[in-house]
Amino acid sequence: MAIKNLRYKRLLIAPITAALFLSACTNAAQNKTKEAENEQIVDTHSDDGKDLIGLSMPSQYLERWNRDGQYLKNLFEEMGYEVDLQFAGNMIDTQIDIIDEMIDSGVDILVIGAVDGLSLTKVIERAYYAGIPIVAYDRLICNTEYVSAYVSFDNYQVGRLQGEYVEEALDLKNAGRKSYNIEFTAGDSVDNNARYFFDGAMDVLSPYIEKGNLKIPSGQYDFYSVSTPQWSTESAHTRFEILIGSYYSGTNTLDAVVCSNDSTSLGVQDAISNNYQEKNSVVITGQDCDEENLKRLMNGSQSMDVYKNLSYEAYVTVKLVDSLYHGQEMSQELADGWNLGYTCVYDTTTYDNGKIVVPAFLLEPVAITKENAIEQLVDTYGTYVISDDGSLKVAE
């Protein structure tokens, strides 16, 4: 059964990729032999009657990836799948070794949150010829035609929410001849999502930069000059200490910092707290709603956050994998049929990975402020609780 609506740029490859996904999903327990480039490649699946999912997450060092991994594992197990969950410690070679081991162990489907979406081409190809479909989780896997689907939030919209908050907080629409100083701290340049976050924010704020309402004293506002290796709090902190010492030790006032996520935001906040006297007046963004960042949101150190309900993302991933495993076709109608109770958009045009446009299932992010945090995170979503000390913690 062919998967419909895949607007792949390489039309000769698209039917092969789509057909293989459904063939692998519906016959995953059967041994079979593939031929590629005049070489026989034997499927590693074992006919053991088990439905085994390989979950490769990038790192256990960021709070969110631990939550992602556990959500996915629990949901797959509830649906009767066996799960091999492993974390790569943010190391590319480690993740490649893990995926190789999963292929050898006979997993039926791979769900991968990539450390580096540009570095998995060979191991993804090996999985393809072993008859194992690949779902890219949260981060796009690039430069391969063998990724079957992508599940994430609308990453561009995440950045727009951050930019729109700064726009409103500084009242830029009514700025007239006023000008404000802003700096940017983006994510890891090897993470495809980081570019979408950055572009979303810049598309909101660029008109004000062009008009002179926003000035960037450091001159650092192209993506690579503001990116942060491995989303590291320490790297963001070090860069911002240098930046404050160089550009804000005199009369320059720092008015806003767009931080693409919570780990980089912590580094920026600490650098400002230690080195800048007007620390409480700086508008600072974030993303992920990590517990420490929510504490700072409530005490005013961080101005806003962007919430992505990871349980939603995990649930959509599990429903997608299960649907495809049982021979259903990817479409908006498939997503609508899951009766999620929240929006999930089937996108076949946005996520070009350099080889194909990967069909994507996208969820909506939510802007969180001190004023709406309890209403949204506790009352509406129920994913956080108020602890004894008044802080917000992830619900067990």
Question: Treating both helix axes as pointing N-terminal to C-terminal, what angle do 310-325 and 14-26 enclose, rounded to 10 degrees?
Answer: 90
pLDDT for residue 253 is more than 90: yes
* Nearest-angstrom CA–CA distance, 9 and 7: 6
Q: How confident is the model at residue 12 (pLDDT cuts 50, 70, 90)?
A: very low
Q: Are residues 147 and 163 in the same domain?
A: no
Residue 169 falls inside a structural domain: yes
Query: What is residue 141's predicted lDDT score, i.e. its pLDDT?
Result: 96
251/338 Cα distance (integer angstroms) = 56
Last residue of a domain, one of 253, 287, 321: 287
Predicted confidence at residue 9, as pLDDT, reads 28
pLDDT band at 108 (very low <50, low <70, confident <90, very high): very high
What is the pLDDT at residue 324?
A: 87
| Predicted pLDDT of residue 20 | 45
CA dist 392 and 386 (Å) reads: 5
**β-strand pairing of 52-57 with 39-42:** unpaired
Span 381-394, mean pLDDT? 93
What is the residue-averaged pLDDT of the chain?
Answer: 88
Asked whether residue 213 carries a pLDDT value surpassing 60, the answer given is yes
Residue 144 and residue 179 in one domain: no
Mean pLDDT throughout 60-74?
Answer: 91
pLDDT tens by residue, 304-355: 999 999 999 999 999 999 998 899 999 999 999 999 999 999 999 999 999 9
SS3 355: coil
Domain contains 46: yes
Nearest alpha-carbon partner for 236 in 281, 303, 286, 199? 286
What pLDDT does residue 64 have? 86
57 Cβ partners below 8 Å, 6+ apart? 65, 68, 69, 85, 86, 87, 88, 113, 137
Which band of pLDDT confidence, cut at 50, 70 and 90, is reported for residue 198?
very high
232 within domain boundaries: yes
Percent with pLDDT over 70 in the chain: 87
Q: Is the pLDDT of residue 28 over 80?
A: no
Q: What's the pLDDT band for 61 if we cut at 50, 70, 90? A: confident
Determine, yes or no, domain membership for 61: yes
Is the model's pLDDT at 70 over the cut of 90? yes
For residue 42, pLDDT over 60 is answered with no
Say if 43 falls within a structural domain. yes
Nearest to 362 by CA among 322, 305, 320: 320
The verdict on residue 379 lying in a domain is: no
Burial class (CB in 10 A: 0-12, 13-18, 19+), 247: middle
- Which CATH number is 36's domain given? 3.40.50.2300
140/163 same-domain check: no
Residue 122 lies in a domain: yes
The answer to whether 303 and 165 are in contact (CB under 8 A) is yes
**Total tally of structural domains belonging to the chain:** 2
Do 188 and 278 reside in the same domain of the chain?
yes
Find out whether 157 and 199 touch, Cβ atoms under 8 Å.
no
Confidence of residue 6 (pLDDT cuts 50, 70, 90): very low
pLDDT of residue 8 exceeding 90: no
Residues 339 and 353 in one domain: yes
State how far the Cα of 286 lies from the Cα of 290, in Å rounded to an integer: 9
Pick the range with the lowest mean pLDDT from 61-65, 123-127, 135-139, 284-288. Answer: 61-65
Assess whether 225 and 279 both reside in one domain.
yes
163 and 149 in one domain? no
User: Average pLDDT of 15-28?
Assistant: 45
> Is the separation of the CB atoms in 87 and 68 below 8 Å?
no
The domain of 271 spans 158-287
pLDDT at position 396 over 60: yes
pLDDT-based confidence at 63, cuts 50/70/90? confident
Residue 280: per-residue pLDDT: 67
Query: Does the residue 263 lie in any domain?
Result: yes
pLDDT band at 179 (very low <50, low <70, confident <90, very high): very high
Same domain, 320 and 261: no
Average pLDDT for residues 224-233, to the nearest whole number?
A: 96
Would you state the pLDDT for residue 43? 44
Same domain, 144 and 164: no
Q: Where does the pLDDT of residue 275 fall: very low under 50, low under 70, confident under 90, or very high at 90 and above?
A: confident
Same domain for 205 and 120? no
